[in-house]
Structure formats: structure tokens, C-alpha cells
Copies of this chain bind each other. A is one copy, B any other.
């Protein structure tokens, strides 16, 4: 329920990358089920038959994307900003570091928004995909956040609270922040004063100090 997705040291061939890219594109536009292998083939610029040389099944393409996503996240999980925090040896303000992380993660999500969208949407209905997402990604993210939060508490920069609630607040806020930005840019016809840097400052401010007055 988990290990049947083996994450190979996936050096993908050029063709495989082409196909996955095309699949990600079309899946994210029309959804997995509504996308035909013929469409993927056309977008990838290969014949339909070729797809099945590289992916036994249409569903295996999805799994391929999942593997990509996992690698992407895993590879990025121990990146500088987070290392810094875990090492906790800078003299930077906690909020400053937090901001770096948020920006870093936001970029990760934004740059791979389609990939996330495809995986999440299919995780809703495919048990095995869901299992992998939960075990490989969510539980890992939870662990990191918890670990980090714990450090903050020890450092005296955060107060003692149930970590799972803290998780919901932090991750939920960031997630919705990203999501809303994406949707607003699609739907809102009002021109936006898009000062993202300040926005993130506010977001962090709320995380640390809440919305309550003093």
C-alpha cells in the first residue's frame, strides 16, 4: 500500500520526461480521468504507442508524476533555510528565518503547482496514491514542522501549545495564502497591488501574534 511505488534513482530518459511533462499539463487542465492517452501523446509529441513503452498503464503515468513530486519534495526538504533553523545558530530573528522558509516553500509550490494539483486531486479518490501522499509527504512535513516548532519553544520564541494545532494553523495559513493568491489572479478582475513581500510579513505577523488587538 506504500512500497509498490518504488522511487528509483529516477534518471528519467528524455522521452519519459516529455511524457510526464505532457501528462502533468493535461491532467492539471482536465483531470486525470478526462484526459485521454491520445491527448497526452499528442502534447508530448510522441505516438500513443510510445507512451506505453515507458508506462505500462495510464495509471502508471500518474504514479510517475507522484514519484517526481516526492523526489522534488524530498530533495528540497533539507535545503539551506531549514538547515539553518534546525542548526539554529544564526543570529537572525526567528521571523526572518520563517519568512525565508515560507518564500522558499511558496516558490516550490508555485513552480510545481500543476504537479501538486494533479496529485492532490487524484489522492482524493485513489487509495494507493492517497496512502503514499500521506505517508511520504504529509507525515514527513508534520515531523519537520513539529521538530522546528519544538525548537522554537525551547528557545523561548514560541509558547507551548499542542503541536498538531500549531501545524494546522501554520500550514493552513500558508496553504490558503498560496491558494487564494492563485485563484484571485484567475478570477478577480480588480487589478491587484501585488506586494507579496509585505503580505508575507503580515502573514507571519499573524502567525506569531494573532489577529487580536494587543
Chain A residues with a Cβ under 8 A of chain B = 29-34, 117, 121, 124-125, 131, 134-135, 138, 149, 152, 156-159, 161-162, 164-177, 180, 183-184, 187, 199, 202-203, 205-214
Contacts and interface: CB of A to CB of B under 8 A. Distances in A.
Given A158-B213, A161-B202, A134 B187 contact: yes
Most chain B C-beta atoms within 10 Å of own C-beta, residue among A131, A158, A187, A211 = A211
Nearest to A160: B213
Given A33-B33, A172-B175, A208 B205 contact: no
A80 B175 CA distance: 30
Contact of A180 (B149, B168, B199): B168
27 contacts: A117-B124, A121-B121, A121-B125, A134-B183, A152-B211, A159-B213, A161-B206, A162-B199, A162-B202, A164-B180, A164-B184, A164-B199, A165-B177, A165-B202, A165-B203, A166-B211, A168-B203, A169-B177, A170-B211, A173-B173, A175-B175, A206-B210, A207-B210, A207-B212, A208-B210, A209-B210, A209-B212
A169 B161 CA distance: 17
Name the prevailing secondary structure of the A interface residues. Answer: helix
A14 to B, nearest CB: 22
Contact of A165 (B152, B199, B210, B212): B199
Contacts of A157: 212-213
A179 to B, nearest CB: 8
Contacts of A159: 211-214
A31 to B, nearest CB: 4
A157 B125 CA distance: 42
A33 B34 CA distance: 7
A161 B204 CA distance: 12
B125 A206 contact: no
Most chain B C-beta atoms within 10 Å of own C-beta, residue among A131, A161, A177, A212 = A212
A170 B173 CA distance: 7
